[in-house]
Structure formats: structure tokens, C-alpha cells
Amino acid sequence: GESVGLHLPTLSVQEGDNSIINCAYSNSASDYFIWYKQESGKGPQFIIDIRSNMDKRQGQRVTVLLNKTVKHLSLQIAATQPGDSAVYFCAESAGGTSYGKLTFGQGTILTVHP
């Protein structure tokens, strides 16, 4: 498979641990944020989203936190599993007349060790 992200930030955790992946965004007008997971050789897959009028949203094993004051987004994965190993991207959208245009961040490589 391909190797995405030779120079991306990396996070290594043990199976069962909780993982926290961070993302800083730059556009203060962004009002919608998404986390994507990209496995080797595949396209990005939607994980969870959050609107700017919220500061926390929970899904199955995942939680997204949004701090608009410092323009910071985080993804928490509970009880991380080997299948969670992938590159994780945050994406932001300014909505309005920008349609669905997403701006992706750099990405973080998550490696989960059994």
C-alpha cells in the first residue's frame, strides 16, 4: 500500500489506550469542522463533525472538542484498536457562499500497537 505522510506528525499508542489527535485551524470564519480517517490506499472516510456553535460532540468511541478562542480542534478516540491505525485529517469549511468547500489540515499518523 501507499505511504501517506512521510513528514506528518505521528502518534503511537498501545491497544486499549485513549488517543488524542490535535488540529489547529487558521480561518476564524470557519463554522463547520470535520475529522476524516484515511487508511493506506483508500480515500478519506468521514468520522465525526461539529458546528461552530458547539464545543463538544460525541460519537461511537470518538469525541470532537472545539475551542474557537484558540482555533483548536481535537479528536479523542477511546479504547484505541489496531484498526484505528491510519492518517487522520481535520477539515474546515467557512460555509456561506463557499458551498461545501473543505480545507484540509496537515494530518496525523496514528499507529496502534497490539
Partner 1 sequence: EAEVAQSPRYKITEKSQAVAFWCDPISGHATLYWYRQILGQGPELLVQFQDESVVDDSQLPKDRFSAERLKGVDSTLKIQPAELGDSAMYLCASSLGGLPADEQYFGPGTRLTVT
Least distance CB 98 / partner 1 (angstroms): 7
Residues 28-87 touching partner 1, rule: CB under 8 A, are 31-32, 41-46, 49, 51
- Decide if residue 102 touches partner 1 (CB under 8 A): yes
Stretch that binds partner 1, among 3-11, 14-22, 65-73, 77-85 (CB under 8 A): 3-11
Please name the amino acid found at residue 15. E
Identify the H or E element spanning 107: none
The answer to whether residue 8 forms part of the interface with partner 1 (CB under 8 A) is: yes
| 25 in contact with partner 1 (CB under 8 A) | no
What the block records as the C-alpha cell of 114 is 497490539
Grid coordinates belonging to 82: 489496531
Q: How far apart are CA 8 and CA 87, in angstroms?
A: 9
Q: Considering beta carbons, is residue 42 or 113 the nearer one to partner 1?
A: 42
User: What are φ and ψ of residue 71, in 5° steps?
Assistant: 55, 60
- How far is residue 19's CA from residue 69's CA, in Å, rounded to a whole number? 23
Kindly list the residues in this chain that would bind partner 1 in the complex (CB under 8 A): 2-8, 31-32, 41-46, 49, 51, 89, 91, 93-95, 98-102, 104-107
